[in-house]
């Protein structure tokens, strides 16, 4: 049984990571072929500064960071408000919060596009940011809610009894307890934004395009320097996930030590 499980895991990892490995390998291809490796070179990495896709990659990270920050702020306060509701109201609100996650992305994308068109809103960075915040907030709420259940009300009340103002007690007592959930929510919102294509496709304008929509809109075929750009994207995301894991473990360790 152990051998079968190991074989199964090996096949699964090959199935998941083989396409990424091939993409990275051909980003160093000396020639222009995507099917034949003619030699190793940094040719396509040197072409990145002049590539038409570079600005789209910058747009992708700008959008991801902006939407993640806004989603964390809105989602954290929403989770705090929801947590104060009675059990019946809390259940009803959480079902509403879950709708954007259960909804098909194409439904969300088309409906948002129709809303913006009806309101005569020009599609661009603003519409993209709003769309990404809308589908990211529920994930932040779900990340923060479990941490809220573990926050002791007596500690907050003790801070108030000692003369602390509610806002000060909230910042110094409640927020630090929520840090692991906030970090998880930020990471989730950031990754969802980078990964999204369907909603971005329907809510993006011609003046602001993410890397995914830029690649899709290429009329003359995707150029091979995209392999190099995507390799850099994979590297950045990997580093981000490593940093996220380290911070999350440290935050959880501090929470355990306090208890």
Greatest mean pLDDT among 146-150, 167-171, 193-197 lies in: 193-197
Q: What residue ranges do the domains of the chain occupy?
A: 1-41, 54-258
Assigned fold of 54-258: MetI-like fold (1.10.3720)
Other C-beta atoms lying within 10 Å of the C-beta of residue 77: 13
Distance CA 43, CA 81 (A): 53
CA distances from 104 to 115, 175, 211, 250 (A): 17, 33, 22, 36
At 246 the pLDDT is 82
**CA Rg, the chain, in Å?**
22
Distance CA 18, CA 128 (A): 32
Q: How confident is the model at residue 114 (pLDDT cuts 50, 70, 90)?
A: very high
Distance CA 36, CA 21 (A): 15
Q: How confident is the model at residue 28 (pLDDT cuts 50, 70, 90)?
A: confident
């Amino acid at each position: 049984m152990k051998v079968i499980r190991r074989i199964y895991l090996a096949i699964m990892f090959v199935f998941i990571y083989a396409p990424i490995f091939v993409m990275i390998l051909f980003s160093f291809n000396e020639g222009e072929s995507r099917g034949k490796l003619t030699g190793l070179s940094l040719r396509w990495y040197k072409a990145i500064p002049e590539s038409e896709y570079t600005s789209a990659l910058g747009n992708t990270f700008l959008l991801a960071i902006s939407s993640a920050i806004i989603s964390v702020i809105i989602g954290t306060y929403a989770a705090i408000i929801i947590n104060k509701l009675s059990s019946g109201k809390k259940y009803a609100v959480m079902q509403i919060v879950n709708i954007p996650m259960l909804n098909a992305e194409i439904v969300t994308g088309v409906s948002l596009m129709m809303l913006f068109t009806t309101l005569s809103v020009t599609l661009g960075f603003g519409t993209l940011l709003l769309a990404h915040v809308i589908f990211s907030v529920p994930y932040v709420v779900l990340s923060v809610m479990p941490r809220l259940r573990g926050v002791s009300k007596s500690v907050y009340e003790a801070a108030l009894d000692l003369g602390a103002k509610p806002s000060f007690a909230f910042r110094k007592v409640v927020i630090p307890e929520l840090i692991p959930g906030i970090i998880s929510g930020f990471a989730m919102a950031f990754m969802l934004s980078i990964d999204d294509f369907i909603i971005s496709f329907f809510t993006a304008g011609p003046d602001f395009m993410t890397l995914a929509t830029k690649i899709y809109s290429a009329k003359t075929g995707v150029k091979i320097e995209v392999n190099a750009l995507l390799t850099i994207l994979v590297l950045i995301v990997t580093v981000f996930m490593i940093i996220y894991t380290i911070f999350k473990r440290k935050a959880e360790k501090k929470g355990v030590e306090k208890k």
